[in-house]
A = this chain, B = another copy of it.
């Protein structure tokens, strides 16, 4: 089955202590769609300007990412620029130019409305809701969010949460939205706000998954060298949604576990190079190999 992915499409300028790259493909939907495409066909929703490289449309086509839902508007593409600290653990946004994104209102092509799986990648909750309102009863809805929306669009976010099957957010956001220090308490409390499942991303410490009376904890794939952390969270969310859409049958907690692992594996590849460069050349064999290595590294008991 397909997965609809809506979010931002941007041209990013990213500076780390050792490298700087300008105008590379970025945005939550770009990362999420490419990560999802390893597991299922993708229907992409977003907006780009007239300066957006035609080659990316060709790349999406080659990857079975349907770009009919990507609006092309005259003007400049959304631009983000950021700089990472020496240890890559914190980043400072240097500039944001919303450009064509400022008046973006996602409109779904008819062919998108019956898509069974949806990933509302990180954009304003009002836009995420607007997408859901155009859909014909999707089977599974995942949503990502960020601190900005918790702080500036809390009412919209609260209204969205009960419609969500899986909410994905990071540890500091989980603490912020609940005012709880304990992530265990926070995860359980967020579930009571509406989402059926909550995934809390903890960066180098892995991720936690909360369901009704169910819980899953996984570490992060151990990496010594990280080149660019940008998009790791979007990649994580995209792989989860893609993996779930690529399966057959009802989504059980056990499927969500595997989805989280594929999310972690794809995110671990994402940060090995700037922008989407590593994901562009990644193969399913490499993904499955890392999945197996990761499994072995996390198993309590190893047999045979």
Contact = CB atoms under 8 A, between A and B. Distances in A.
Contact of A219 (B204, B206, B223): B206
A218 interface: yes
Contact of A224 (B188, B217, B257): B188
A70 to B, nearest CB: 34
Contact of A206 (B205, B222, B254, B294): B205
A218 B205 CA distance: 10
A250 interface: no
Contacts of A102: none
A298 interface: yes
A297 interface: yes
A181 interface: yes
Interface residues of A, number: 35
A47 interface: no
Interface string A243-277: 00000000000100110010000000000000000
Interface in A75-89: 87, 89
A282 interface: no
A272 to B, nearest CB: 13
Nearest to A215: B297
A202 interface: yes
A300 B254 CA distance: 8
A182 interface: yes
A159 interface: no
Contacts of A61: none
A257 B257 CA distance: 21
Interface of A: 87, 89, 181-185, 188, 202, 204-206, 208, 215-220, 222-224, 226, 254, 257-258, 261, 294-295, 297-302
23 contacts: A87-B182, A182-B204, A182-B223, A182-B226, A184-B223, A184-B224, A202-B205, A206-B206, A208-B219, A208-B222, A216-B297, A216-B298, A217-B219, A217-B222, A217-B297, A218-B219, A257-B299, A257-B300, A257-B302, A258-B300, A294-B300, A295-B300, A298-B300
